[in-house]
Structures are given as C-alpha cells and as structure tokens.
C-alpha cells in the first residue's frame, strides 16, 4: 500500500481537540476542582476524528467505509476485549462494595512493622493493583491510607502517596484483568501469560530496586507508629485467590467469574453487601467501563480507515528511515506508545490507538508479539504514572491535597522502569 501521510489527519484532529483543550482548561483557564483533561470527553474527540476519517478518500463510497469500520470493530480480539471489559467492570464493582480492597490493604499494613510502612505501602499497592486490575481504583483505596500513615508516623506525604502511585502502576502493568493488559495482548494476538512472563523480566527487577531504596529510607529513619487499621480477613481472601489464579495462568474469564462469585458470597456472609447492593454495584462497575468500550469501538473504526487510506504505511515508512534493526523497531513502538499516552492521558486508549501500528512494526522488524504487547503495556504505564495531568496523579494529589507536580520527584518506580525498558531494548 502506498504511504499517505494525509491519512493521519484524523489523529492530528483528535490530538488538537483533546490535548489542546486539556492544556487550555488545565493550565490556562483552570477552575478549582476541575480536571482540565477531562472537560472534553475522549469519546467526543474520537467521534470528531472519525467524521474526519470518513470525509477522506472520496474514491470509496460511504457504504464501503462503513464496511471497513465494521471489519475493524468485528475483529476477534476487539470483541474479546469488549466482553472482558464487561466482566472486569462487574468484578471491580462488587469487590469494592464488598470491602475487599480496604480489608486487604489494612490486613497487609497490620502485619508490616511500623518503621517499614513506606516500603509496605509500595508492596500493598502492587498486590492490590494486580488483584483489582486498575491503578486508579488502587490509588483511590490506598492513597487515603497513605495520608493517614504519613500523618501518624510524621513521614513525607509526597513520598507516601508517590510510592502508592508507583505500586499501582506496577500492578496495572502486570495484572491479568487490567484493561491495559487486555488491550495489549488481544490486539497483538498473544496469551496473557506469555506477555506476563516477558513483562515481569522488566517490571520485577524495577520493583525490587524500588523496594530496596524504600527499605534503606525506612532503615535510616527512626521507628514510627502508624496506627491501627481494621480489616476482615474473609473480605480480603477473594483478592488473594484471584491473584493466585491469575498468576498461574487460568483463563481470564474464569478468573473474573470466580472473583465475582467469591465476593458475592463473602460480602453477604460478612454483611458488607445485600442482594440489592450487590446487583447495583456490579451494574455500576459495568457502567464505569462504558467509556472505555465506546473508545475501543471508535478507535477500531478510525484505525481501520486510516490503515485503508495508507496512514499506517506512512508511519512505517517514517520508522524505516529512522530504524534499520529490531532494536529500532522496538524503540519505535515504545516512543509511539509513550507519545500517544502523553497525548491522551489514558494508558488504555494509548494502547488501543498504537496497537495496530505497533503490530505492523512488529511484523516488519521481526519483533516477537509478546515483546510488542509488553512494550505497549509498559510504556503506556510509565507515562501514565508520571504525567501530572493523568487521572492517577490528579486523584492521588486530590486525596493528599497536594499539587500533582509535587509527587513527580517521588515516583521512583516509573522512572526506574523506564531505565529498564531502555536497557531491555538495547540488549534485544
């Protein structure tokens, strides 16, 4: 197919509409309590981009363009993603309502010595995020605990909250039920367990080095008392079961369904939910996934038209001029994903946009699809974990009553992970 840079105009329109308005409402015309990058819906921005894509290439009839979009949306991997998003939303809703996250966090914090509360917060955030499959959800649950630990133990507030953000991104990157993992693996046609094995070689050493740094910090500080935290071990148990099932490679549909059933049982048993609140929480959880699902459909449509019009070939042509090896192709995938996350402030959306282009790069430069999926997930999580206008840092900063920029020097894990990604690519 002949390269056609003009086919990329829909992406440019999306970036101008979403990123431009985000910068304006966040830094130029900011109102108290307003999240500037969420004033313009990402769905609206992609809808306009889709209209622009339809207006291109007049050689194709409207019905033919509809057929191209339908083929893009109907791809097996896209359909699987949508089904998993529904289950993941239901799981997240019932788990939160049943008190699982709070009990798990408080249980782990109760068995960690007070002076090691900071590295403990990091480990807890890692485990909770892997079990929940959402960094935002993890931060919403653990950040208030981090604030309490900071206050009770006279510890650095930006550090306590910053390590929670880092741990949340670690779990989001590796979790089998995270929407980023789902998007990265399904778009590249690889098994989640294979991507996990590739991913953990980069993420685990980064997390261990982060943990060592935090342990050293804790060791040189005096012993502190961080207070008492209530928990119910029965409410925490389903998370540990889900975590084990995920790591051993059980099918994600089975894992999510098992988790939902377990939380329903333990929630009713402990009195944290009723039949009505259980049903309501699952419905709310699914509703929380609607935007992600709509964006996935819109992006699949836009990407199908861009590819048909030669846009992907234009990107590949550019990369060919800059890279002449497998390493170059991997750097291309990493930079493309990072840029898309900076532009969209959403790691799942960044993956969905970059994935079809990354797949072509992967084929061109003989990059293992497992490596491509790992790079997509890891690089999007790195950027999402450090950009001050992303939901993760904005929510964490809001809970801690701090400017999001104050957290950046304490985001130890994402920066170490970025170094390991570069080293990994250079060694490939």
Q: What pLDDT band is residue 142 in, cutting at 50, 70 and 90? A: confident
- For residues 47-51, give the mean pLDDT: 93
The domain tally of the chain equals: 1
State the Cα–Cα distance between residues 305 and 136, nearest whole angstrom.
32
For residue 5, pLDDT over 80 is answered with yes
Q: What pLDDT band is residue 79 in, cutting at 50, 70 and 90? A: confident
State the Cα–Cα distance between residues 422 and 407, nearest whole angstrom.
23
State the Cα–Cα distance between residues 67 and 1, nearest whole angstrom.
19
Query: pLDDT tens for residues 276-304?
Result: 999 999 999 888 778 778 887 888 888 88
DSSP 149-180: HHHHHT--HHHHHHHHHHHHHHHHHH-TT-HH
Judge residue 376's burial from the number of C-beta atoms within 10 Å of its C-beta, 0-12 exposed, 13-18 middle, 19 or more buried.
Answer: buried
Which stretches of 176-289 are DSSP H helices?
179-188, 192-220, 233-247, 252-270, 275-287
Residue 400 tokens, joined: 């801690």
Query: pLDDT tens for residues 378-395?
Result: 999 999 899 876 778 877
DSSP 370-428: HHHHHHHHHHHHHHHTT-TTSHHHHHHHHHHTS-GGGGGGG-HHHHHHHHHHHHHHHH-
pLDDT of residue 169: 93
φ, ψ (nearest 5 deg) of residue 390 = -80, 160
- Residue 244 neighbours by CB distance under 10 Å: 12
Biggest CA-to-CA distance, the chain: 72
Least trusted range by pLDDT, from 31-35, 155-159, 259-263, 309-313: 31-35
Query: What angle in degrees, to the nearest 10, is found between the helix axes of 62-73 and 290-308?
Result: 130
Determine the structural domain holding residue 306 and report its residue range: 5-427
Q: How much is the mean pLDDT over the chain?
A: 84
State the Cα–Cα distance between residues 221 and 115, nearest whole angstrom.
8
pLDDT of residue 389: 67
State the Cα–Cα distance between residues 412 and 215, nearest whole angstrom.
13
State the Cα–Cα distance between residues 175 and 80, nearest whole angstrom.
17
């Amino acid at each position: 197919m002949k390269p056609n840079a003009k086919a990329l105009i829909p992406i440019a329109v999306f970036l101008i509409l979403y990123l431009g308005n985000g910068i304006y409402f966040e830094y130029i015309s900011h109102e108290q309590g307003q999240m500037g990058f969420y004033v313009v819906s990402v769905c609206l921005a992609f809808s306009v981009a889709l209209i622009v894509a339809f207006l291109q290439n007049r050689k194709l009839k409207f019905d033919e363009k509809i057929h191209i979009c339908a083929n893009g949306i109907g791809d097996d991997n896209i359909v699987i993603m949508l089904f998993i998003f529904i289950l993941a939303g239901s799981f997240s809703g019932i788990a939160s309502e049943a008190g699982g996250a709070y009990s798990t966090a408080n249980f782990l914090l109760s068995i960690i010595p007070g002076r090691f509360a900071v590295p403990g917060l990091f480990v807890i955030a890692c485990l909770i995020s892997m079990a929940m499959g959402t960094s935002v959800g993890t931060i919403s649950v653990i950040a208030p605990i981090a604030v309490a630990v900071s206050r009770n133990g006279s510890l650095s507030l930006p550090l306590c909250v910053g390590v929670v953000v880092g741990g949340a991104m670690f779990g989001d990157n590796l979790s089998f039920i995270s929407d980023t993992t789902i998007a990265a693996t399904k778009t590249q046609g690889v098994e989640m367990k294979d991507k996990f094995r590739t991913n953990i070689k980069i993420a685990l050493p980064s997390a261990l080095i982060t943990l060592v740094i935090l342990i050293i910090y804790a060791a040189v500080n005096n012993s502190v008392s961080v207070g008492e935290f209530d928990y119910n071990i029965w409410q925490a148990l389903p998370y540990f079961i889900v975590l084990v099932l995920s790591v051993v490679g059980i099918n994600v549909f089975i894992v999510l369904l098992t988790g939902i059933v377990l939380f329903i049982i333990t929630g009713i048993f402990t009195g944290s939910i009723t039949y009505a609140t259980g049903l309501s929480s699952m419905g709310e959880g699914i509703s929380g996934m609607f935007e992600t699902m709509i964006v996935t459909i819109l992006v699949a449509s836009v990407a199908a038209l861009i590819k048909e019009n030669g846009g992907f070939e234009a990107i590949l042509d550019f990369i060919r001029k800059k890279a002449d090896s497998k390493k170059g192709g991997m750097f291309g995938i990493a930079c493309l994903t990072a840029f898309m996350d900076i532009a969209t402030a959403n790691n799942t959306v960044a993956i969905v946009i970059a994935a079809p282009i990354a797949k072509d790069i992967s084929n061109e430069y003989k990059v293992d699809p497992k490596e491509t999926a790992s790079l997509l997930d890891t690089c999007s999580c790195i950027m999402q974990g450090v950009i001050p206008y992303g939901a993760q840092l904005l929510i964490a900063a809001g809970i801690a009553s701090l400017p999001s920029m104050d957290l950046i020097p304490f985001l130890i894990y994402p920066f170490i992970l970025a170094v390991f990604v570069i080293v990994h690519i250079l060694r490939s």
